[in-house]
Chains A and B, each alone.
Chain A
Amino acid sequence: MGARLLLRWRSRSGPLGRVVRKPARPKIPTPKVGEVRVAAVQMPFTFFGSGEAFARELRSFVHEASEAGAELVVFPEDLGTTLLGILPGFDRLARSGSLEEALGSLGPGINLSDVIEVAGPATLRIYETVLAGLARSYRIHVQGGSILVPLDGRTFNVAHLYNPNGRLLGRQPKCHLLPLEASWGLAAGDDLEVLDTPLGRLAQPVCMDATYFETFRILVSKGAEIVCLPTADPDPAPSAWKSLRGLWPRVQESGVYGIQAAMVGGALDMSFAGQSAIIAPIDLTPDGSGYLAKAHGHLREVVISDLDLEALRAFREHPAVRPNPAFDESYFPHIYRGFWRGGILHDDA
C-alpha cells in the first residue's frame, strides 16, 4: 500500500505539466500539398527516476522534430518501461546483473507483469500526461511508442496515438509477442485498428507485429496508408541483413509507408539495436532502396522525411501483384487451425 501511495505521488500531473508547457515555439509546418512530414525517434534506453526527467527527454525529441517541420513524431517501443525508474528501491534493482535477477530479488515467482500490476497505473499516468501535453504544446501528432499496461488482470504492450489537441486517438495492443515477452507473462492483443487523421489513415502495430504479413494484410484491408512501428529489438548486434526483416518487407508487399522508431542502448542484461527509418515501396524511393530516410548509426537521432500520400494512392491503383480471392478463400483462416492453441510446428507433430 505504501509503494502504491508513493507511486501515486510521484506520478502527479502538476510538475509534468510545467515541463511540457514550458514555453515552446511551435513551428508551422509547410509541407508540399499532399505531403506529410514525419519524424522517427531513435532513443537510447534509460530508466528515468522521475516523471519530470522523462518529460524533459521526450520534449527534446518533440522539439527537434517540430523544428524540422514534422507533423507526426513516432517514439520507440517500451518507452513507458523507462518509467520503472520511479519505483521505490529501483536503484537497488538496477544494480542486478539481469532482469531475471532483479525480479528474483523481489520475491519468488515474481515476473514483469506482476511489477507492472503495481507500477502500471502510475507509469501510465505519467506517460499519458507527458505525451498528450507535448502533442498539445507543439500542435503535433505524437505516436508514443508503447507502454506496458495492466488490464483486467493481464498485461499488454500498448501503443498510443495523440492528436495535436492532446486527445488520445487510439490504443493498439501488440498482437504478436516475442517469446521473451510471453515468458514475462504479457498477453497479446486480438484486434488491429486504423485511425482516420488529417495526415492520412494511420496504424500503430508494435515491433514483432511486423514479422507477420498477416498484420499488414489486415491493416491495409482496413485502409491503412501510414504504419507507425515502435520497436525495441533485443538483439545487441544484428547483421545488416537481419535488420531488413520486419517493416521493410512488409512495406514492400503491402504498399504503405512505414515509420520505424527504434529503441537503442540497453539496461540490465537487455540491449537493443535497430535503426529508425522511414520506408516506402521501392518504386516510391528515389534510389530504389525502399528507404526514404534512415538513422546514421545506433545513437540518439531524429529521422525526418516527407511522405507523398498522393503518390502512394496512385501507386496502389496498379498493384504489382494481383490478389487471388479464390486462393485466399481456399486457405484463410483455416490454414491456422493447427495453431489455435499455441502453435505446433509440423516437425513437432
Chain B
Amino acid sequence: MPEGLRVAGFCLPFRPFDGPEHMVQDIMARSAGFGEGAGSFLVFPGMYAMGLLPTAFRMEPVGMFERLRAAGTSLEKAYHDAGSEAAKRLHAWLLPGSVLIPARPGYRHVAAIFDPEGRVIGEQAQTHAFGDEVELAVATSVATFPVGDLHVGILLGADPWAPAVSRVLALEGADLLVAPLAPRRPYTAERAVAGLWQEAQQNQVFGLETGLTGELFETEADGRLAFFGPCETTPEESGFIGEAGYVSGETARAHHLDRGLLRQAREAFPIFRHLNPSLYRRYLPERRRNALP
C-alpha cells in the first residue's frame, strides 16, 4: 500500500438533528462503505453540525446569533459528543463538519478532527472573515494535525480565499488542506477555482472541498465536492483527483491520497525552493492601508 490515506468527502443538504445520537446515526448511514477501518478520514461539510442547534432555539423567530447565544456551550458539547462517538463507531478519523460557537464578542467558527478512538486531535477556528461577517471572532493562528500518514490543515469560511493561510499551513508541513464549506449561492465554478483549487497548486498540496447545500437559516448554501492535487499529479493535468471538475448535489466520493505523488511533484518543480525570503522580510506583513488577506 503506498503511503498516504484514504479520504472521503461529502456534499449534503442541511438538516436538523434531534440530538448528538441523531447526528451520529446520520454520519454512520452516510459513511457506509467509506469509513470502515483506521485507514480512512471522513470530512463532512461546513455548518453540517449546526443541525445540532437545539430545536427550540432553531425554530424561534429570532436571528441565528441570538439562538446561538441562547444555546451557550451546549452546541459545542453536542458537536464534540457526536464527533467523538461517530469516530469511535466508524473507527476512522472524522471531521464532522463545522459549527458556530458563541464568543465574546460575536461568535467563532470551528471544526475539529477526531481520531479513531474518539479523541480530539485538533481544532481549528476560521482566521479570515468575509466582508459581511462582522460578528465573526477570527483566530490568529493555524495548525496542522497528523491524520494517518498525512499532515492536515483546516480552512473554514473565507480562509481558502486568503492565500496567507494556505501558505502558512503548507510551510508548516501540511500535505492535505480540507475545506468544509457552506458557500452562499451563487457559488460559481470560477469562484471555487479561485479558492482551494489554486491553493493546492501554489502550495503543492492535496485539497478536499466539501459542501453543504440547501437552506441554511436565512441563507442558501450552494456547496460542492472536489479533491485537488497539483496538476502534475492528476489525470489530464486538471488539478482534480477523480472527476475533472466539481461534483454537486447530495453525493460522496473517496480517494486514496498518495503522499509519494506529492513528493514527486515537489521534487520535479520545487516551488518553495525559489521563495524569496529577503524580499518578504522587507515588506511583510505589509502596511495596513492596503492589506490583503
Interface set of A (CB-CB < 8 Å, partner B): 175-179, 182, 188-192, 208, 211-214, 216-218, 220-223, 238-239, 241-242, 244-245, 248-249, 252-255, 282, 288-290, 318-333, 335-340, 342-343, 345-347
Per CB-CB distance, the 8 closest pairs between chain A and chain B, nearest first, are A221-B286, A343-B273, A328-B285, A239-B237, A323-B291, A249-B198, A213-B163, A252-B194
Interface set of B (CB-CB < 8 Å, partner A): 127-131, 133, 138-141, 151, 158, 161-165, 167-168, 171-173, 188, 190-191, 193-194, 198, 201-202, 231, 236-240, 244, 263, 266, 269-293
Complex Cα distance, B190 from A282, in Å, reads 8
Contact A332 B291 (CB under 8 A): no
Contact B190 A212 (CB under 8 A): no
Across the interface, B190 reaches (CB within 8 A) one of A188, A290, A340, namely A290
Q: How far is the CB of B209 from chain A (nearest CB, A)?
A: 15
Complex Cα distance, B167 from A335, in Å, reads 9
Contact B272 A343 (CB under 8 A): yes
Nearest chain-A residue to B288 (Cβ)? A325
24 contacts between A and B (CB under 8 A): A191-B279, A216-B292, A238-B237, A239-B236, A239-B238, A241-B240, A249-B201, A253-B161, A253-B163, A254-B292, A255-B292, A282-B188, A282-B194, A320-B161, A323-B128, A323-B291, A323-B293, A332-B164, A333-B281, A336-B275, A336-B277, A337-B277, A338-B171, A340-B277
Contact B290 A288 (CB under 8 A): no
Q: How far is the CB of A339 from chain B (nearest CB, A)?
A: 5
What B residues does A218 contact at CB under 8 A? 279-280, 283-284, 286
Complex Cα distance, B283 from A307, in Å, reads 28
Beyond A214-B276, A333-B281, A336-B275, is A325–B163 a contact (Cβ under 8 Å)? no
Beyond A239-B236, A245-B231, A333-B280, is A343–B275 a contact (Cβ under 8 Å)? yes
Contact B273 A190 (CB under 8 A): no
Q: How far is the CB of A36 from chain B (nearest CB, A)?
A: 20
Q: How far is the CB of B158 from chain A (nearest CB, A)?
A: 4
Nearest chain-B residue to A217 (Cβ)? B292
Across the interface, A249 reaches (CB within 8 A) one of B127, B151, B202, namely B202
Contact B202 A213 (CB under 8 A): yes
What B residues does A329 contact at CB under 8 A? 140, 285
Give the A-B contact count at a CB cut-off of 8 A: 210
Q: How far is the CB of B113 from chain A (nearest CB, A)?
A: 19
Beyond A282-B191, A327-B140, is A241–B286 a contact (Cβ under 8 Å)? no
Complex Cα distance, B188 from A223, in Å, reads 29
Q: How far is the CB of B154 from chain A (nearest CB, A)?
A: 15
Across the interface, B277 reaches (CB within 8 A) one of A189, A318, A325, A333, namely A333
Contact A244 B168 (CB under 8 A): no
Contact B164 A327 (CB under 8 A): yes
Complex Cα distance, B271 from A211, in Å, reads 8
Beyond A249-B194, A327-B128, is A322–B280 a contact (Cβ under 8 Å)? no
Contact A320 B277 (CB under 8 A): no
What A residues does B201 contact at CB under 8 A? 245, 249
Contact A330 B266 (CB under 8 A): no
Q: How far is the CB of B275 from chain A (nearest CB, A)?
A: 5
What B residues does A331 contact at CB under 8 A? 164, 168
Q: How far is the CB of B42 from chain A (nearest CB, A)?
A: 25
Contact B236 A212 (CB under 8 A): no
Q: How far is the CB of B76 from chain A (nearest CB, A)?
A: 23
Contact A208 B274 (CB under 8 A): yes
Beyond A213-B202, A289-B190, A347-B266, is A321–B162 a contact (Cβ under 8 Å)? yes
Contact A324 B128 (CB under 8 A): yes
Q: 11 more A-B contacts (CB under 8 A) besides A282-B188, A329-B140?
A: A190-B278, A190-B279, A192-B279, A214-B276, A214-B284, A221-B290, A288-B190, A321-B130, A332-B280, A333-B281, A345-B272
Complex Cα distance, B286 from A218, in Å, reads 7
